[in-house]
Chain A
Amino acid sequence: MTGLALLGAFGTVLVAGYGLLTLLVRQEARFSLTEQIAFSWLLGTGAVSLLLWIFGLFVHGVLLPALVSIVCLSLGFVGWRRMVPLPLRHNPKSFEIFLAIIVAIEIAIVFYLSFVHTLGWDGLLNWEIKARYAFANGGVLPVTYFSDSGRAFSHPEYPLAIPFTELWLYLWLDEADQFCAKTIFPIFYVVGTFLLVALGRRLSGRTWIGLLMAAFLFFVPQITVEAGSATGGYADFPLSIFFLASIGCLICAAEQGNAAFFRLYAACLTLLPWVKRDGVILWTVAAACGVFVILRTKRSPLFFLGFLPGLLIICGWHFYLSTMHALQPADFLPVNLETLGSHLYRIPPLLSAFLAEFYNLPTWSLFWFVVAVGVVYLLRRMRDPRVLVLLAALIVPIFFYLLIYVFSSWPSYLDHVGLSISRLLMHVAPVGFLITILAVSRRSEKNPARVREGGVVTCIMAGSERTPVVELA
């Protein structure tokens, strides 16, 4: 029975996401099955959690999941009518099959790890707590929760994408089950590997590079086994996958003016501040990159409308919190020039702490060293807007994260850094993989024909796929 309920919950999420994907892509681009699953999951979790929140303002009890289910199925019906075209089949090489088997084994291990570990501290007391309380209150967070000083430790001000995805499972299971709630996190890992394979293929024109990077995702301890990893029930890994999807779609949109990818970018961008409060920083950086791409590729000013939904979510959530009289977070001092001026002395120790984290081998292995080599490779290709976007998406959030600790209100701000820095760096780690893909592939301007190898779908092909037969001919 539990299995059927989980199937129903995941099915509705995927169906809703697929419907949204078809609406965004409008049959203008081809997406592989794994890409379709990945984007369907990301858009589906965003849609279901937003629908639960918005409908929850008006109804609760049995009516709430019923209404959300109806919307999910309606979106699925739309998706069924406007299927996203699949790319033409190409026969995988034996090395690609070998790598795919490795990735599949790694995914199985991540599922296993997710079940042997409990929810992490924040996973329980910052995220799952909201799902449980909302479930016990008919699908809506109790008003008293937001102003209960005794539960300020659980950060009532945090957004609801992850807890309300857990809530969706609880509503289907008819029980708040911490064990089942964990199932959503390895799925984000699966989505991450699917995206890396797909983006690797689109950026390099070679499937094996994407598969190789997906295989190496497993070997970053912070992502697989460390505190706050993909299996701990924290929002950081899902946020990093949303960021990967946003930036990946943006660099695909930067090539050949592909509007379908730009719409997907805008959709993933919208969900960043809905996943975690830090998502506002990632939203700002990714939006700035989007502005750069729009201006650089001389797009219509209408493309700027893509930033509107994200702004609506940021403002809407703040308005909701003020209406609920939510407690103000106490982790940071007021962000203003006066505080900045009086705390500038913190910057050198913060820089040292950040640098130390980059070569923290038990947490990151050699990942950041590999990324640094990749960055050096790409410095020669700074004229390529995609390279600029990738470098900005990697470096600027780290700079902002360093800056926010200047405003830490903890008695020891370095303790604050020590507790959260690895999770913050994880937000941009998947973008580091994209940089490595570009560096490894060395697909330069000299040899653009490479991207057509083996009939593999790339951004360039996707940009002109309205006439695929002519293109491939």
Chain B
Amino acid sequence: MTSRFSYGRTTHVMLWCGLAVALLGVSIPKIYSGATENPLRPTRPLHTCDSYLKFATGASGAAKDVISIFQSMTASKRVIIFTRKDDAFSSGLGMTTAYLASPHLVRLFEINGTHPDNELLKINPDQVAAVVFCRINRPAWVPAGKVFGSGLEIVPMPKERR
């Protein structure tokens, strides 16, 4: 009996009980706030992309429309996406658009500022299916495209240039 309730054993039990209680005390508030910060989302097949696009542009349920725009274009042509350097929203929006632009090959241009005129002039429009502006101003000489919320604009290139 003495060995069963020895000091060593008591210290051992108290140490681990103390650690367990302390860990719970630190963890529970964090886990509670993490578990309650978001409501249950709609179970759409593109629910993550929709959430990202809504976060970056404010547009709801936009992923399906973005996909259908890209699918209406010639698959063999590339999609050009402009994003802003040092703008995490723009960069994230560009990558999400690149994700949705499949099966097109994509090219991401990260530019300083908000005017991509110089880069656009270097592009051969015959090889491009669309140009996408992510939180970047479309130059006035480029025709207007489909706008999603604030910050995403997709400009399809004409299928056959005359």
In the bound complex, do residue B31 and residue A225 qualify as a contact, i.e. CB atoms below 8 Å apart? yes
In the bound complex, do residue A150 and residue B38 qualify as a contact, i.e. CB atoms below 8 Å apart? no
In the bound complex, do residue B22 and residue A366 qualify as a contact, i.e. CB atoms below 8 Å apart? yes
Residues of A within 8 A of B31 (CB): 218-219, 221, 224-225
How many Å from the CB of B108 to the closest CB on chain A?
A: 5
Cα-based distance from A260 to B160 in the complex (angstroms): 66
* Residue in A116, A124, A149, A365 whose CB lies within 8 Å of B48: A124
Question: Of all chain B residues, which has the CB nearest A225?
Answer: B34
Residue among A137, A144, A149, A150 facing the most chain B CB atoms (10 A cut-off) = A150
In the bound complex, do residue A440 and residue B45 qualify as a contact, i.e. CB atoms below 8 Å apart? no
Question: Of all chain B residues, which has the CB nearest A370?
Answer: B19
How many Å from the CB of A358 to the closest CB on chain B?
A: 14
Q: Does B148 count as interface, using CB distance less than 8 angstroms?
A: no
How many Å from the CB of A402 to the closest CB on chain B?
A: 25
The 0/1 profile, CB within 8 Å of A marked 1, for residues 4-28 of chain B is 0000000010011001101110111
Q: Does B143 count as interface, using CB distance less than 8 angstroms?
A: no
* Residue in A149, A216, A218 whose CB lies within 8 Å of B107: A149
In the bound complex, do residue B19 and residue A373 qualify as a contact, i.e. CB atoms below 8 Å apart? yes
How many Å from the CB of A186 to the closest CB on chain B?
A: 13
Q: How many residues on chain A are close to B (CB under 8 Å)?
A: 50
**With A150-B105, A225-B31 in contact, do A119 and B19 touch (Cβ < 8 Å)?**
no
Stretch at the interface among A27-35, A79-87, A175-183, A386-394: A175-183
How many Å from the CB of A155 to the closest CB on chain B?
A: 12
Q: How many residues on chain B are close to A (CB under 8 Å)?
A: 42
* Residue in B34, B45, B102 whose CB lies within 8 Å of A175: B45
**With A118-B41, A118-B51, A221-B34 in contact, do A150 and B108 touch (Cβ < 8 Å)?**
yes
The 0/1 profile, CB within 8 Å of B marked 1, for residues 145-168 of chain A is 000111101100000000000000
Q: Does A344 count as interface, using CB distance less than 8 angstroms?
A: no
Question: Of all chain A residues, which has the CB nearest B46?
Answer: A178
* Residue in A116, A149, A373 whose CB lies within 8 Å of B40: A116
> Top 4 closest A-B pairs, CB basis?
A225-B34, A150-B106, A219-B27, A177-B45
10 A-B pairs in the complex with CB atoms less than 8 angstroms apart: A115-B40, A117-B38, A118-B51, A121-B92, A123-B48, A150-B78, A219-B24, A226-B34, A370-B23, A373-B19
- Residues of chain B touching chain A, judged by Cβ–Cβ distance below 8 Å, are 12, 15-16, 19-20, 22-24, 26-28, 30-31, 34-35, 38-41, 43-49, 51-52, 78-79, 81, 92, 95-96, 98-99, 102-103, 105-108
Apart from the given pairs A115-B43, A144-B105, A179-B45, 8 other A-B contacts in the complex at a CB distance below 8 Å = A116-B40, A123-B48, A150-B108, A179-B47, A224-B31, A226-B34, A365-B30, A367-B23
